A and B are shown apart, each in its own frame.
Chain A
Amino acid sequence: MSDLFSKFDPLIETREQLLSTGLTDPFGLVMEEVVSPTVAICNGRKTILLGTYNYMGMTFDPEVIAAGKQALDKFGSGTTGSRVLNGTYVGHKAVEEALKDFYAMDHAMVFSTGYQANLGIISTVAGKDDYIILDIDSHASIYDGCALGNAQIVPFRHNDIDALEKRLKRLPPEAGKLVVLEGVYSMLGDIAPLKEMVAVSKAAGAMVLVDEAHSMGFIGDHGRGVAEAQGVIDDVDFIIGTFSKSVGTVGGFCVSNHPKFEILRLVCRPYVFTASLPPSVVATAATSIRKLMHGKAKRDHLWENSQKLHAALKALGFTLGTDEPQSAIIAVIMPDLERGAAMWEALLHEGLYVNLARPPATPAGMTLLRCSLCAEHSAEQVVEILGMFEAAGRRTGVIA
C-alpha cells in the first residue's frame, strides 16, 4: 500500500532489521521506578543512569520537591492558558526573577520547553530579509526555529571560526544578522570557541544567540555557561536555556539585556499560542535555579566525575568524541549502528543506561553512546560504570 507514510519505509525497514536480531529496542526503554537522580529500575533491574542530562541531580532535591508540592496544592495542576492571557501566575514571574538573578541580566522570558525557546526566539528575531548564520551541528530546535521563520539561512562548518568570519564578510553589510551558536554541543560534548566567534560576529555587526542548555549550573564561575567561562557573556545578545537538564524539570527560557526585549512576549508565536508551564513546574524550577547559584561543591564533583570517566574509558581503548573532557557529556564513538546497538544492549544488561545516538541527530553519520554525568554519581558508581563498559565492550568486540 502506498500512501503518505511510504516515505518512512526505508526507516521502518532499517528498524525492523535491527530488531529482528532479537535486540531490545533502544528507543523504547521504560523506567519502571526512579530511585534517585542516578538510579532507576528498568525491566525489573536496578540500572545506573548515565544518559539523563540531570547534571546537577536536582530532580530529587527535598527543597525542590517541597516547593513543587506546595504549588500544586495552592495553585492547582495546570494553568490552562497562554502566558499572555490567563497563564501567568506569580510562580511564572518568580522563576523569571530567579533567572534574571542567576544570569545577572535585565530580562527573562520562560517558554514551555527549551525546544520552544529556540523555536520562538530564532523565528521571531530574524525576519524575512535578515540572515541567520549557524553552526552546521546545531540542535534540531535551532534548525526548526530557522524553518519556522523566513530568514536566509547560512550554515558554516562546525566550530570553524574562519568559516564563520568569511561568511559574515560575504553578506551585505547593511543586512540584519543573527549568529546562532551553542556553548556545549550535545552530541560530542565539545565546547565552542565562543571568545573568538562572538568577537568576529560583533565585528560584522551581528547579534549573537548562544544556546547554553548543556552548560548551565556547572560551566563558568556562576554556572552561567561557556560564554561566561570564556569572558564574553556581556557581548552575547540572547542566551537560550532549558529547565530540563541541570534545573531538573521541564521548560525553556531566553535571557537578554536588550532594552526592547519585553516586546517579544507579544510577537513570539511559540510563546503566545501554547499553554504556560504548570505552577508546580515553575515552583520547582525557581527553587532549583536559586540553589544552583550555590552549587560549587557539586559542580567540582561533577568535573571530577567527567575527568575520571573520560580518562578511564580512553585507557580501556574506547574512541571518544573529544581528546579531553570539555563538558559533562562523554561521547563514545561506535564503529557502526549494529555494534552500537549491541553495545547499548550489553550495557543495559550490565545495569547501565546511556543514550544511543544515531544519524541524523549525530554529526558525520556517527553512531554514539552518549554518556552524561551527574554531580550525584558517587565515585563508587563511576568505578562500577567503568567495569560495565569494559565487560560490554569486550563481549561486543568494540574493544579488544
Chain B
Amino acid sequence: MTDRADTDARVKALVEPFNKKGIEVTDQTRFAQDLEWDSLTVLDFVANIEDEFDIVITMNQQAEIETVGQLVDAVGKLKAA
C-alpha cells in the first residue's frame, strides 16, 4: 500500500462514525455540503485525525480544506514535515 493509500484508508475510517447519512465517501466528498457537518462535528473529527497521525491541523489550515481528498493530502504533508 502506498503512503497516500494508507493515509486515505485511515482518514476514511475516521470519517465513518460521523457519516450519519451513510453516503459514499470519495476524495471529492465535501465536509460541509455533503457530510453536512456542523462546526462541533468538525472539531471532534479534527481532534481524532490529529491523534491518529500525531499532528496538529491549525484552524488556519482547516479553513483551506473542503474535501476528504484535500484532507488526505494535507495530512500527508503534515506527517512528512
On A, residues with C-beta under 8 Å from B are 131, 136, 146, 152-157, 163, 166-167, 170-171, 360, 364-365
Contact = CB atoms under 8 A, between A and B. Distances in A.
Given A166-B51, A167-B50, A365-B40, A155 B59 contact: yes
Interface in B31-81: 38-40, 43, 47, 50-51, 54-56, 58-60
- What's the interface size class on B, roughly? 10 to 19
Nearest to A133: B56
Contacts of B40: 364-365
Nearest to B43: A136
21 contacts: A136-B43, A146-B59, A152-B58, A152-B60, A153-B58, A153-B59, A153-B60, A154-B58, A155-B43, A157-B43, A157-B47, A163-B47, A166-B50, A167-B56, A170-B50, A170-B54, A170-B55, A360-B39, A364-B40, A365-B38, A365-B40
List the 8 closest A-B pairs by CB distance, nearest first: A153-B59, A152-B58, A170-B56, A154-B58, A154-B56, A152-B60, A153-B58, A167-B56
Interface of B: 38-40, 43, 47, 50-51, 54-56, 58-60
Contact of A154 (B39, B51, B54, B59): B59
- Quick one: which of B38, B40, B55 has the most chain A CB within 10 A? B40
Contacts of A166: 50-51
Contacts of A163: 47
A364 B51 CA distance: 21
A200 to B, nearest CB: 15
Given A146-B59, A166-B51, A364-B40, 10 more contacts: A153-B59, A154-B59, A155-B59, A156-B47, A157-B43, A163-B47, A167-B56, A170-B54, A171-B56, A360-B39
A314 B43 CA distance: 31
